[in-house]
Amino acid sequence: MTDLQGKVALVTGAASGIGLAIARDFARQGVRVTISDIDIERGRAVAGELQGARFQAADLGNADDIQRLVADTTSAEGQVDILVNNAGIQYVAPITEFPEAKWRQIIELMLTAPFLLTKAVLPGMYAHKWGRVINIASVHALRASAFKSAYVAAKHGLLGLTRVTAL
């Protein structure tokens, strides 16, 4: 297993759930973690509980926020060694009733944001000849569920992005 002591990780959607569990584990291993979330109050509280963690608010549906998140993490912590694309939301409705705005929000957050974040951190990883991009999908990257069109489409796309990035 790789020693992660002193590495820098950026974890999205890290104020709760899977993202928080990942951030906690990284902090226990001595990783300097940037916790990103739209929940500012919870994000700050969580970062205060974890040694070596900091909080950076970001709306991942906003390309400027994404660029600022990467720039601020890099300037505060150094090179981003590990990117965890975890942030996500869910909306359940038949396609015929699925609001276009909700579709766009989910695709932006769960597919476009991981693309932009990966694009931003890869050059540094290449330069340092080390890095990890971890994209959190689910069974929905492989199979569909009724009434979850945007979520399933985003997760299928995320799996494709993961495979392309690995190549």
Q: pLDDT (tens digit, 0 to 9) for every residue of the chain, 167 residues total? A: 579 999 999 999 999 999 999 999 999 999 999 999 999 999 999 999 999 999 999 999 999 999 999 999 998 888 999 999 999 999 999 999 999 999 999 999 999 999 999 999 999 999 999 999 999 999 999 999 999 999 999 999 999 999 999 99
CA distances from residue 147 to 34, 91, 93, 157 in whole angstroms, order as listed: 34, 8, 5, 17
Give yes or no for a contact between 141 and 89, defined as CB atoms under 8 angstroms apart: no
The whole-number pLDDT of residue 77 equals 86
Torsion, CA 63, CA 52, CA 48, CA 29, rounded to 10: 100
Q: Would residue 151 show up in a list of annotated catalytic residues for this protein?
A: yes
Pull the structure tokens for residue 37.
Answer: 């979330």
CATH number for the domain running over 8-166: 3.40.50.720
> What is the value of pTM for the model shown?
0.96
Q: Which of 36, 113, 151, 154 is catalytic?
A: 151
CA distances from residue 99 to 6, 93, 95 in whole angstroms, order as listed: 44, 9, 8
d(CA 133, CA 47): 21
Closest among 96, 108, 118, 86 to 153, alpha carbons compared: 108
